[in-house]
Amino acid sequence: MANHHHPAFTARNLWCDPMELLLQQALQSRRFRSETTNPFFLKECAEVDLSSGAKVLDHQLDLCLPDPMPLTISRSYSSQHSVDDDQIGNPKKSDAASKPRPPVGLLGPGWWLPHEASLSLHDEGLTLHNGPARHVPLPVLAPGEMTYSAEHGLWVVRGGSEQLETGSRHPAAALRMLWRSLHAGDRRRDNFFFIAHHALGPWWIFGPHRELPLAPGQRLPLRMIRDRFGRMLRFGHDPHTGLATVAEDSSGRQFRLELKYFPQLVRKTNSDGWGTDLGWRLLGVHIISDAHVQEPHPTKPHQPAVVRYEYTMRGELAGVYSRSETLEHRFVYDDLQPGRIAVHARADRADVAFDYDNEGRVVEQRTAGGLKLRFQYDDQHTTSITDSLGRQQTIQFAKIGDTHQAVRIKRADSSSVSRKFDLNGHLIASTDALGRTVQYERDEVSGLLLSVHEHGGKERRMVYNAQGQLVRITLADGEEFRYQYDLIGRLVAATGTATRTTRLRYAHDETHLPSLIEDARGDKLHLQWTAEGLLASFTDIHGQTTRFEHDRWGGLTHQHVEGQPATQATRIIRDNHGRRVDRRIGTQQPTTWQYNLAGDLINQRDTASENNLLIERDAQGRVLLQQLSGHRIEYRYDAAGRLIAITGKKGGTLRFAYDTMDRIVEQTNADGSVKTFRYNTAGELFDPTKIGPLKAPQRHTEDMKEKRLPKHEESLQP
């Protein structure tokens, strides 16, 4: 393991994810793929769907306590009314009135919560509802039958059979292990449908909230989410409304989903463009039982919610409050179009306003003190974005399956980048501004990446097992990395250069977290975990054990090394947001931290050394001033938010100039000397005195040949 991380967080970060973050780190390393920025992702436009023009918000996390199968309360939003988006680029060519309209969810029009997912039954097939305007059509399934959607990457199985009858090369063959992990009784239930996005799970299980036979027109709620280790997130539903009112995670925490009925909001069809509104709204989420805390928390009217929501008179989500009762998000809606966000305000941040055209597409985005963006849409599936500095980018989209993919972008410097997709929406080729093309070979069924053919002939190849787990990577220079898994898909060995192998062992079959990690030299690291998946103890290669304690939210509060006096333990105090505000190591004087409403650090005080760092920020959270021990450092930005000057403690100023692509082209030092930078069309830095691009700094993840476990003295204090 890398020795620059604290062991509590190193082990947790590497091994907490069932998809083995170690492999993800390897795949994300520069040795396996380019680290260049995705030119199709425009950060400043992240809240606008550039293909449809809808105002969007994705996975705004409000609640997620530590647990292998946590209850996740995250909001997604789309201002788009129609379920089908074929009208992109030319909405007048489609009959929008005939298209199905997304129903109004528990957070009001346009909003969506993950546990609102459901499965509808029809004579002609099934429909998976998994987003505010996303409905996935699926075929009719007989009891015990399964289907695989390559376009959506979904396995769908109807209960009714203990075994899946498939050939070895059938896509369902990858599901055998995951299917066997279910209880036999659940597998035999023909009124249950099991959906998985990956052969390793978890299962999303849909079924009637009461024992009723299936019938066309029925809508099955999400009953539970279950992983291959038998751990479950379960929902309890009201027998009359069918809405989820309670939830229990895999470590036994119980939650109450506080719902309220507003009869004035009930609509079967809305003239404002939204679908059915049942009149129910989620007011908050309460913890009613938690084994982490000594006493259960009974359901009482005065019990504070860990997340709370407020609504307008029209039933629109108006405010989101955290467990500290802080207003984290505020929304203002269009006066004439219910559910259409006009202003989005975040705690201690500048408001962002949105204007729409008659078709409901965002045409302008304004941020107080920031850039103004204008959007134009044409009949050729093309969207143009122009900022207040006059810079324009144009993105062209193509219909692939049921989505629109960005296939070409013309940037502000007139350079262009393009890419191609297969029929299932998988990237198969990308061409940069110099015309250099990278080809991606994929498995026809699963879409897994099999090889990468770079411009110039370099090639990387990947091999997977039946469950889609990476088992071998071969680099262009012939170097190989191999990975082995046990029968339930857990990583047990990783082999790199010179056959150096790191091995993992697990305490039992119901966990994905290793209890022992042995490096290539034979050094061993022992780990113990809590039921919530938090690191409880860490024994290093010298046999010295460090124990950790956490609060109910997962924050580290206490650290103690066995064999050392208790007075040398580290104690951490956190605020109601979970942020560290006080740390004391033994009898030393504390270090304290203060934050603004947005959560940005504004003061750090080390009492022992009497160092006091003060930070001033603007409405975007950017640092304007730092003061430490009487010394000041000032920062200035231009209208595009780019850093243009740093004035140091001695009064000298460092200045920067940029090109239209926000790349530094000139640096003026405090002594007046100037350094210039040149780039080719692809954005690669050129040395003015040499022909050819400079090599960018390599950022490798841990190589297996250098992989070793940290000694105790190498770990950092929390």
Bridge partners for 344 per DSSP: 331, 352
Domain boundary among 494, 518, 550: 550
pLDDT at res. 687: 65
Structural domains in the chain (count): 2
Residue 248 lies in a domain: no
Domain boundary among 206, 221, 238: 238
pLDDT at res. 702: 33
Q: Is 505 exposed, middle or buried (0-12, 13-18, 19+ CB in 10 A)?
A: middle
Residue 149 and residue 32 share a domain: no
User: Residue 21: pLDDT above 60?
Assistant: no
Q: DSSP 3-state helix, strand, coil percentages of the chain (rounded to 5)?
A: 10, 40, 50
Residue 32 and residue 162 share a domain: no
Residue 21 lies in a domain: yes
Residue 8 lies in a domain: yes
Residue 440 lies in a domain: yes
Better-scored residue on pLDDT, 405 or 268? 405
Q: Where does the pLDDT of residue 133 fall: very low under 50, low under 70, confident under 90, or very high at 90 and above?
A: low
Q: Where does the pLDDT of residue 427 fall: very low under 50, low under 70, confident under 90, or very high at 90 and above?
A: very high
pLDDT at res. 445: 81
pLDDT at res. 503: 95
Residue 147 and residue 21 share a domain: no
Residue 146 and residue 32 share a domain: no
Percent with pLDDT over 70 in the chain: 85
pLDDT single digits (tens) 271-303: 677 888 999 999 999 999 987 775 545 545 456
Give 499-507 contacts, CB < 8 A, sequence gap 24+: 500/704, 500/705, 500/707, 501/704, 502/704, 502/707, 504/15
Residue 545 and residue 429 share a domain: yes
What is the C-alpha separation between 323 and 376, in angstroms, rounded? 40
CA–centroid distance for 137 within its chain: 25
User: Residue 46: pLDDT above 50?
Assistant: yes
Q: Which residue range(s) make up the domain with 534?
A: 1-39+411-550
Residue 34 and residue 146 share a domain: no
Residue 18 lies in a domain: yes
Q: Where does the pLDDT of residue 682 fall: very low under 50, low under 70, confident under 90, or very high at 90 and above?
A: confident
E strand segments, 459-523 = 459-464, 470-474, 480-485, 491-495, 501-505, 516-518
pLDDT single digits (tens) 547-574: 999 999 999 999 999 988 888 899 999 9
Q: Where does the pLDDT of residue 167 fall: very low under 50, low under 70, confident under 90, or very high at 90 and above?
A: low
pLDDT at res. 550: 95
Q: What residue type is 403 in one-letter code?
A: T
Q: Where does the pLDDT of residue 364 fall: very low under 50, low under 70, confident under 90, or very high at 90 and above?
A: very high
User: Residue 247: pLDDT above 90?
Assistant: yes
CA-to-CA separations, 174 to 104, 202, 425, in angstroms, rounded: 37, 13, 21
Please state which of the ranges 90-104, 109-123, 144-158, 637-651 shows the lowest mean pLDDT.
90-104
CA–centroid distance for 522 within its chain: 36
pLDDT at res. 700: 30
Residue 628 lies in a domain: no
Chain mean pLDDT for the chain: 85
Q: Please compute the mean of the pLDDT values over residues 590-596 and round it to a whole number.
A: 95
User: Residue 328: pLDDT above 60?
Assistant: yes
Domain boundary among 550, 578, 595: 550
Tokens standing for residue 221: 């709620």
Residue 156 and residue 35 share a domain: no
Q: Please compute the mean of the pLDDT values over residues 470-475 and round it to a whole number.
A: 94
Residue 124 lies in a domain: no
Give the global pTM. Answer: 0.86
The length of the chain, given as a count of residues: 718
Residue 317 lies in a domain: no
Give the side-chain half-sphere CA count within 13 A for 288: 15
pLDDT single digits (tens) 342-359: 999 999 899 999 999 999
pLDDT at res. 169: 57
